[in-house]
Each structure stands twice: as structure tokens, then as C-alpha cells.
Amino acid sequence: MHPSPHRIAARRRIAAAAATGLAVVALLLLLGSHGGAGRDPVATIRAAVARHIAPEDHPAGGVPGRADGYVAEGRSISPFDGGHPAIANLQPALRHAIQRAAVDARAAGVTLRIDSGWRSARYQQVLLDRAIATYGSEQVARQYVNTPQDSTHVTGRAVDVGPTDADSWLAQHGNAYGLCQIYANEIWHFERVTTPGGPCPATIANAAGG
């Protein structure tokens, strides 16, 4: 006897759920085996989860999209892309500082890109919720993803810079623009926290302040 259309549909749903489960397991293995220095756990979450939940420009069902500052993994943007909310909604002083740094970095042969800039509060909450699900604990997740209330991305006062050579260049020269690395475990996260040419404060261990 041939299975009914309802049973076929049910089997397909089960197969899809199984595939999703395997993807989650693969993500956990990836994080566990490649969590060394220089790897961005937030980018890993964005790459493995966020890009699959909605097209960047067409969010659905309350899922963050471009209007929330969403930048898909592998689609870093120019610090001069004023049409993207991730850049447009940065604090003007930070936006101008990172643009000046990008010009000088280019002269030194380094291309400076923005992996993440301003984020809406709901996008930040999505990242935090998924980080908690991924790491299995809010305590661990908070080392990498701040709450919407405390996130400097939400207030437009932080940028995540890439690629790695740009991180390194900015770590060496960023204070000339008032830009400083904030967290010891996030070589990509910069904020404008000093006057141009002034000293940068000591880095904090992580986003949780530990």
C-alpha cells in the first residue's frame, strides 16, 4: 500500500528536523574544536544560524534583517557604506574615526572592512539567545555577546573589524584615531574611547567583564 500524502509530508518534516539537528551538532563540534585565539564566536553563530533564517534584505516573522544592522557572514561591508544601517547608525565620531583609519590602512596596503557595526536591540537579543543555546550557559555566552541593554553595538559605539590583518593594524595604530580594542578575547571589537593620539585603556578580559 502506498503511503498517504500526509505520511509523506510527515516523513519529510522528520527528515528536515534530523538535518537541522545534525547541523546544530556540527556547529557545537566546530566551536569546540576551533575556539582558539583569533576566532570570532559571534561570527560563527551568524554564519551557522543567522544567514539561514531569512534573506538579508527580506526579514520575516520578526527575524532581524538589514534594517537591524544585520551583515551576513562573508559579506563584510565598507566603512563608507552609509546606505547600510550598520554604518549609518554608528555614532558620528566613531564612523568618522573608522573611515579615517580605513583610508590610512589602505595606504599601508591593508583593507579594513566592517563585519558588524550598529545592531538593533532585537538583533542583539537574537545573538545572545543563540549564543546561550550554543554554549549551554548564559555565563559563557556573555563572554562574547552582551545584553541589548549593555551592548555598545546597540548604541552605535562599537564596530567589529576584519579581516585579521586589519585587526592587527588597528590594534597598533588605532589610538591615533581614538580607536581602541576593548576586550582581550575579541581582537576585532573596537570603540572610540580616547582622544586621537591618546593612550588606550587596558583591555577588559571579555564582554562579561571577567
Helix, strand, coil distribution of the chain in percent, nearest 5: 45, 10, 45
Q: Which of 23-27, 49-53, 138-142 shows the highest mean pLDDT?
A: 138-142
Task: Cell numbers for 45, please give them.
Answer: 553563530
The distance from CA 74 to its chain's CA centroid, rounded to whole angstroms, is 11
Q: Check pLDDT > 70 for residue 55.
A: no
Q: Is residue 125 left, alpha or beta, with left meaning phi > 0 and alpha meaning psi from -120 to 50?
A: alpha
Confidence of residue 44 (pLDDT cuts 50, 70, 90): low
Confidence of residue 137 (pLDDT cuts 50, 70, 90): very high
CA 206 – CA 210 distance, rounded (Å): 6
Give pLDDT tens digits for 63-112.
Answer: 689 999 999 877 899 999 999 999 999 999 999 999 999 999 999 999 99
Cell 554604518 sits at which residue? Answer: 87
Q: What is the pLDDT of residue 40?
A: 56
Distances (CA, A) of 106 to 71, 97, 112: 22, 14, 7
Q: What is the pLDDT of residue 73?
A: 75
SS3 string of 129-191?
HHHHHHHCCHHHHCCCCCCCCCCCCCCCCCEEEECHHHHHHHHHHHHHHCEEECECCCCCEEE
Phi first, then psi, for residue 91 (nearest 5°) are -60, 135
200 close to 180: Cβ distance less than 8 angstroms: yes
Q: What is the pLDDT of residue 42?
A: 56
Give pLDDT tens digits for 1-40.
Answer: 444 444 434 444 444 444 434 343 343 333 443 333 444 5
Name, in order, each residue with C-beta under 8 angstroms of 78's C-beta and a sequence gap of 6 or more.
Answer: 87, 102, 113, 114
